[in-house]
Amino acid sequence: MDKARWFVAVLMMVTLPPAVGAWYVIHPFVRFWRRLGTVASFCIIYALLISACLLLFEYRSALIGTDLGFQPLLMVPAVTAVVLGAAIARRRRRYLSQRILVGVPEVSTRDKGRLLCEGIYARTRNPRYLEFLAFSFAYVAFANHSGTWVLYALMFPALHLVVLLEERELRERFGAEYEVYCRRVPRYLPKLGPRGLGGQIRL
């Protein structure tokens, strides 16, 4: 059990910061990446991502912090978070392809993508970040190292800034239609009740 918890703590500490940080490399510089081309852009971006993971791995023991021990009571909210994350993921996967997840529309000059405004995207504009935070809580609660709790707390402002950068890029890409979508669908807390947006808005 302790080895599994240590492994999860290290995995989170090594992979989550680069995964979130990649969007700080992509969103503010989309014009540069588009001029460079999709293949070259992803070669550079993923080289940076892998380098960051390797660097963090070198300092893994210091970063994960103190082992706070396995806490059975934490498993109750952890399981709840997994159920919530899985429910969001099941609905999100119907609309958000892997191509969108890795950022192809941001760096491509040929494939602008489309605005997702049906299904779960009619209730919240950022279900994948809610899903990410739910699953991350479960991992942190299981690992229960001091460093992972600090990392989880930092994920909130870090992801919020990513969302703001993403919104700026989407406004540039889709213009007025995205503004209409923003006015009708909340950024985070889902709309309950009727589906809200009906049909599909082309972005």
DSSP string, 142-176: HH-BHHHHHHHHHHHHHHHHHHHHHHHHHHHHHTH
Give me the domain span that covers residue 171.
Answer: 2-184
| Confidence (pTM) | 0.86
Q: How many domains does the chain have?
A: 1
User: Number of C-alpha atoms within 13 angstroms, CB side, residue 193?
Assistant: 4
Give the pLDDT confidence of 44-80 residue by residue, as tens digits: 999 999 999 999 999 999 999 999 999 999 999 999 9
pLDDT over 70 for what percent of the chain?
94
In a domain, 53, yes or no: yes
Tell me the per-residue pLDDT of 4-19, one tens digit each, with 9 for 90 and over.
999 999 999 999 999 9
The pLDDT score that the predictor gives to residue 157 is 97
Judge whether 189 lies within some domain.
no
In a domain, 141, yes or no: yes
Q: Does a structural domain hold residue 150?
A: yes
Closest CA to 103 of 95, 111, 91: 111
Given a cut of 80, whether residue 202 has pLDDT beyond it is: no
192 within some domain: no
